[in-house]
Amino acid sequence: MEKLQSLRGMVDLLPASTPLWQGVEASAREHFRRAGLAEIRTPVMEVTELFARGIGEATDVVGKEMYTFLDRGERRCTLRPEGTASVVRAALQHGLLSQGPQRLWYGGPMFRYERPQAGRQRQFHQIGVEFLGFADPRSDAEVIALAWDLLADLGVRGLALELNSLGSAEDRARYRQELVTFLEARRDQLDPDSQARLATNPLRILDSKDAGTQALLAGAPTLAAALGAESRERFQLVQESLTALGLPFQLNPRLVRGLDYYSHTAFEITSDQLGAQATVCGGGRYDSLVEQLGGAPTAAIGWALGMERLLVLLAQGDPAALPTAPAPDLYVVSRGERAEPLALVLARGLRQRGLSVELDLSASAFTKQFKRADRSGARWVAVIGEGEAESGVVLLRPLREGTGDPARELRLAVKDLDGLRLRLG
């Protein structure tokens, strides 16, 4: 029989790595708590139209990367490829925005049908932030600082913050026209990918990696020059706020980002330690999305952070700084017909009092049980053998500090759970 395996690009997170995930999640939660964000959880599946309309038909994500299928009711469904569209949909559906601006965060799996490679899986995980109803340039800085501080707090080094402004929808449309006019005249000098994008998504040509295309772009009209006075001033204010916060950023005029809904501020936090997929966190302003999805015009900005990519960076840092699985407070060994039930009761009683207790269920020789006790990393081992069962007294021996010192061993009544709890705490 063929071995059953997980689907391509869908990876298991094994016990060895879950403490690290939990550590990152806990840290993110704490940062969000301090900044007054509320968590929102949306379904991993939505009607396809949400993404088609929200992200943009011409984008690669919608065009070729979505997991889309018909359910039993013939509805066209899609596994979410990103979080923003769902969050906006949920906010509109439940009238959240009529209660005022929303500072939200979310986390969870996203799905894109792509060829897996370093830092990219088909099911991957994002933590994201969406500020709905905030137009002030300071909100851009606040949102970006949230990502930056979280990453810094996690100990990630060597990050760069890249920043650009895509201008208003009108600026973009005007620039798009200028760019297309310029490039159409030089179409044959473009690489094939860029030629195709000329019709579908011309701004994306700006961050083409093709050397010839980049050379050509050196003489092209720039996005920065196409920004209207208002957009320019706004971008200036964002930069001033970032500077006031001490965030070092680099202007990257070629930073465009693939999703249609971005406007004004666009940013990425990148690392040169990630291989081809350098972006750990990306985001920007999307002032037109809420309206596009049927709501009132609402300014908004957010970002998403790739968990897998972040973990790659953490793994490159100091291993000792990473969270590992916690050791139990106590390991209980027992042997004998009368002892074993007592050990079971003891373990449960101490757990009910808040201790973490691992119970040896092997019924093997004490030597074996002690080896396991030692390897468990527990601070104490509790021993119940025939003698202890007879007298109703459990032997507690320290396994870490004070180990080997008979004076540090304790003997307490098995039934005195509160007393045991106190000594073991």
> How many Cα atoms within 13 Å fall on the side-chain side of residue 246?
2
Q: Does 107 bind RNA (CB under 7 A)?
A: no
> Between 182 and 366, whose beta carbon lies closer to RNA?
366
| String marking each residue 205-234 x if it binds RNA according to CB under 7 A | --xxxx------------------------
Considering only residues 247 to 266 of the shown chain, the ones binding RNA according to CB under 7 A are 257-259
Burial class (CB in 10 A: 0-12, 13-18, 19+), 380: buried
Q: Which of 355, 348, 354, 400 is nearest to 373 (CA)?
A: 400
Q: What is the DSSP letter of 399?
A: S
Tell me: does residue 368 bind RNA (CB under 7 A): yes
Please give the helix or strand (H or E) that residue 89 lies within, else none: helix 84-93
CA dist., res. 129 & res. 39, Å (int):
9
Of 130, 162, 287, 308, which lies in the binding site for RNA, with binding defined by CB under 7 A? 308
Evaluate whether 376 touches 401 at the Cβ level (below 8 Å): no
Nearer to RNA, 17 or 277 (CB): 277
Nearest-CA neighbor of 111 among 57, 56, 51?
51
Nearer to RNA, 140 or 388 (CB): 388
Q: Does 411 bind RNA (CB under 7 A)?
A: no
241-249 LR contacts (CB < 8 Å, sep 24+): 241/137, 241/138, 241/140, 241/141, 241/142, 242/141, 242/144, 242/145, 242/161, 242/163, 244/141, 245/141, 245/145, 247/141, 247/144, 247/145, 247/148, 247/161, 248/161, 249/161, 249/162, 249/163
Least distance between RNA and beta carbon 208 (Å): 6
Q: Which of 88, 281, 330, 350 binds RNA (CB under 7 A)?
A: 281
Residue 340 is a binding residue for RNA (CB under 7 A): no
HSE on the CB side for 111, CA within 13 Å? 15
Q: Does 138 bind RNA (CB under 7 A)?
A: no
Tell me whether residue 274 or residue 290 sits nearer to RNA (CB atom). Answer: 274
Among 119, 202, 295, 349, binds RNA (CB under 7 A): 119
**Is 26 among the residues that bind RNA (CB under 7 A)?**
no
* 140 near RNA (CB under 7 A): no
Binding residues among 148-187 for RNA as defined by CB under 7 A: none
204 binds RNA (CB under 7 A): yes
CB of 284 to RNA, least distance (A): 9
* Residue from 293, 305, 357, 359 in contact with RNA (CB under 7 A): 305
For 247, which DSSP code? -
Q: Which of residues 35-94 bind RNA (CB under 7 A)?
A: 59-61, 65, 82
- Pick one of 23, 101, 109, 116: the residue that binds RNA (CB under 7 A): 116
Q: Which residues between 369 and 398 bind RNA (CB under 7 A)? A: 370-375, 383, 385-389, 395, 397-398
Cβ nearer to RNA, comparing 178 with 210:
210
The answer to whether the CB of 366 falls within 8 A of the CB of 372 is no
Number of residues that bind RNA (CB under 7 A): 72
**335 and 310 Cβ atoms separated by less than 8 Å:** no
Output the smallest distance, CB 36 to RNA, in A. 23
Nearer Cβ to RNA (31/335): 335
Please, what's the b/e burial string for 114-131 (b: 16 or more CB within 10 A of its CB; e: otherwise)? beeeebbbbbbbbbbbbb
If one asks whether residue 268 binds RNA (CB under 7 A), the answer comes out as yes
For residue 117, the 8-state DSSP code is B
CB of 60 to RNA, least distance (A): 4
Is residue 130 within the footprint of RNA (CB under 7 A)?
Answer: no
Choices 158-166, 202-210, 315-323, 353-361 (CB under 7 A): range interacting with RNA: 202-210
Question: Is 118 a residue that touches RNA (CB under 7 A)?
Answer: yes
Which residue bears the tokens 């691992």? 358
Residue from 54, 137, 282, 295 binding RNA (CB under 7 A): 282
